[in-house]
Chain A
């Protein structure tokens, strides 16, 4: 069974600082995908970034990067130059890729990030 652990229930960061949100995972699958989603107070789930388990390079999307350390089973999200609009709940999720077809996402508990002006 897959498991995602996010150990930081809340984080407070000054605007323009970089922030790292932690995510560790547990799986016996050889091939898998890791995702980060942002959930603002309005409630929607916004896809941020994806990392495949066989990807050699860390994924980057604008100000978001994923610090993927396979041996440690960690997939931390790094947000550079944080903005007030980054204040939200952030979820790490994992998807098995061993089998073709619709594969569920398993989510962590989330980290509530607050950016202070």
Chain B
């Protein structure tokens, strides 16, 4: 059964560094998302992406964040200058329409 994959599974970075989180959505899906989950808290929406452009972004998704679909398969989230409060689990999800299928997540730790 096709799955959403994410790399890396874990990343440790220094405050102020740039990180790129990578996702490979399910191949015939059209809609892509990034969410984050700070430890012990609920899952929060960051951004949605369709037809090669951002559909919606949350107030969390400020100028430090960007998303790209550089080729037909990958979907990336870049954080330009990480802050301590960016430490969280980041989930990529994709959907054909209704149901969003999540990847296993990337656990980001900013020191």
Are B99 and A50 neighbours in the complex by a CB distance under 8 Å?
A: yes
Residues from 27 to 47 in A contacting B, C-beta threshold 8 Å: 33, 35, 37, 42-47
Contact with B along A39-65 (1 / 0, CB 8 A): 000111111001010000000000000
Most chain B CB within 10 A, of A33, A101, A109, is at A101
Q: Could you tell me the dominant secondary structure of chain B's interface residues?
A: strand
Report the bound CA distance from A104 to B103 in whole Å.
16
Assign chain B's interface to a size class. 20 to 34
Out of A35, A104, A107, which one reaches B99, CB within 8 Å?
A: A35
Interface residues of B (CB under 8 A from A): 31-33, 35, 41-45, 48-50, 55-56, 58, 89, 91, 93, 95, 98-105, 107
For the complex, give the distance between the alpha carbons of A33 and B95 in Å.
13
- A43-B107, A110-B42 known; A102 vs B33 contact (CB < 8 Å): yes
| A68 in contact (CB, < 8 A) | no
B98 in complex: contacting residue of A50, A91, A106, A107, CB < 8 Å: A50
